Amino acid sequence: MLAAVLGTAHADPKVIKFATLAPEGSTWMKVMTALDKELQEKTNGEIKFKMFPGGIQGDEKDVVKKVRIGQLQAAGFTGVGLGEVAPPVRILDAPWLFRSDKELDYVYKAFDKDLTSAIEKGGFVLLGWTELGPVYVFSKNTIDSPEDMKKQKMWVWEGDPIAEAAYKAIGVSPIELSVIDVMSSLQTGMIDAVYGPPMGVVALQWFTRAKHIYGTPMAMSTGAVLLSKKFFDGLTPEQQKIVLEVSRKHLRELNELSRKENDEALASLEKQGLTMSAKATPELLKTYQELGQKARRELVGKLYPAELLDRVEKSISDLRSGKAKKS
């Protein structure tokens, strides 16, 4: 009888403690809430999320450590956190590599094994990619070319190897600051140009200190939702399948919403008076191609191996020329 009672008793749900820098009420958190709801429904309440939004669990390096010691089980990361977990994945943020969402989507698919393997080696499982958007330069003064950037007091995020390599290729000596010091430095004139995806620049209010948007993005800003591999391995095969399916479904939706909201944010900034420079000419695109190759090579051995970079660059070149394999 005791065995029968124990057999029918409901076990406590497995809780995924999830941390993110995204604030409560953001599109990010709305999608994560919907993900959690469907996950609970499909697992009959066996698995659920507990959310920690707004950076309350610390910066991304802190969060990585907390997941590894079991205080947290999952997190939404920007490139900074991904670099802590799996440095090769930061190839997705490499300077002047992508020109469109189509190219990025192609690389996600073509290099899925490389990217997920790097993440798993870091002790995590990929639940889905979460883009932050194209990275533009926002400035007080007009910028129409790489040469113009040399005349600005450009900001670089403290410890951001991607931006450092890009500026080094151009010949810019940026001013290194933490994100929390950017607004005050714009106000005092310590810096007069920043970079970031439109949604981020709006959220941080940096746009209020800028007058111009350089129309050629420096890179794509990629993130991901990762789950502790140790936690994932403790689930049943059926639970693992549900977690992956539900997560990927909702995070694909988040990417679509992010792309739309970045477009809307960019249009809104122009309506508020910021002037966007003209699109890059074929000659300027060639310059960026050369600068990008130089910057990306600078990161070989620091973030990703040369052979991975070679394969990614070739795949994008093939896609642009129509030689890419049909999938």
CA distance 90 to 81: 10
Does 244 fall in a domain? yes
For each of the chain's 327 residues, which pLDDT tens digit applies? 454 444 444 568 999 999 998 888 888 999 999 999 999 999 999 999 999 998 899 888 899 999 999 999 999 998 888 999 999 999 999 999 998 999 999 999 999 999 999 999 999 999 999 988 999 999 999 999 999 999 999 999 887 888 899 999 999 999 999 888 999 999 999 999 999 999 889 888 899 999 999 999 999 999 999 999 999 999 999 999 999 999 999 999 999 999 999 999 999 999 999 999 988 889 998 999 999 999 999 999 999 999 999 999 999 999 999 887 654
The model carries a pTM of: 0.86
47 is written with which tokens?
A: 């698995």
CA distance 117 to 263: 32
Does 319 fall in a domain? no
CA distance 61 to 68: 11
Q: What is the model's pLDDT at position 59?
A: 83
Does 200 fall in a domain? yes
CATH code where residue 189 lies: 3.40.190.170
Number of folded domains in the chain? 1
Does 314 fall in a domain? no
- Give, in order, the Cα–Cα distances in Å from 309 to each of 92, 94, 95, 100, 302: 10, 10, 12, 18, 12
Does 30 fall in a domain? yes
Does 5 fall in a domain? no
What stretch of H or E contains 213?
Answer: strand 212-228
Domain that holds residue 148: 10-307
134 is written with which tokens?
A: 């194209």
Q: What is the model's pLDDT at position 326?
A: 55
Does 203 fall in a domain? yes
Q: Give the length of the chain.
A: 327
Does 148 fall in a domain? yes
Taking alpha carbons only, the member of 29, 241, 129 closest to residue 37 is 29
